[in-house]
Structures are given as structure tokens and as C-alpha cells.
Amino acid sequence: MKTSTCEGKHGIQWTAQNQLDDLNFADDLVLLSHTHEQIQKKTANVAAVSASVGLNIHKS
């Protein structure tokens, strides 16, 4: 998932050197972004990568 959520600089600036692109816990994933367009792009990337390995996204 790391490669599908970190394309470009679309996360939240965490520290001077680090950017926070997503939060992960167990089988949950929270995507972070500044704009609606960026979050849609991230969601599409995650969905494509997930589907390629047989996983589905469930909104909840």
C-alpha cells in the first residue's frame, strides 16, 4: 500500500522532513490529503492496487 498512497506530495506535512500520507491500523486505512481531487486520486490508486491482489474496499 505504501507505493499506492505516497505518489507526489499530497499528504499532510508532519514535521520539517516528514509527510503523513495515510494512517494504518490492522486492516483499516485512512487517507490524508489537502484537496478533494488529491483524495480521489489516492482512493483510485489504492482501489486499483487492492483489486490487483484480490482485495476490496468497504466504506465504513
Binned at pLDDT 50, 70 and 90, residue 3 comes out as low
Which tens digit of pLDDT belongs to each residue from 27-58? 888 888 888 998 899 889 889 988 999 988 88
pLDDT at 13: 78
Q: Is residue 30 part of a domain?
A: yes
| DSSP label at residue 19 | E
If one counts the domains in the chain, the total is 1
Q: Is residue 57 part of a domain?
A: no
Q: What domain range includes position 12?
A: 2-51
Q: Is residue 8 part of a domain?
A: yes
Q: Within a 10 A sphere around the Cβ of 56, how many other Cβ atoms?
A: 7
Q: Is residue 24 part of a domain?
A: yes
Cα dihedral across residues 39, 43, 45, 49: positive or negative: positive
Q: Is residue 56 part of a domain?
A: no
Q: Within a 10 A sphere around the Cβ of 54, how many other Cβ atoms?
A: 6
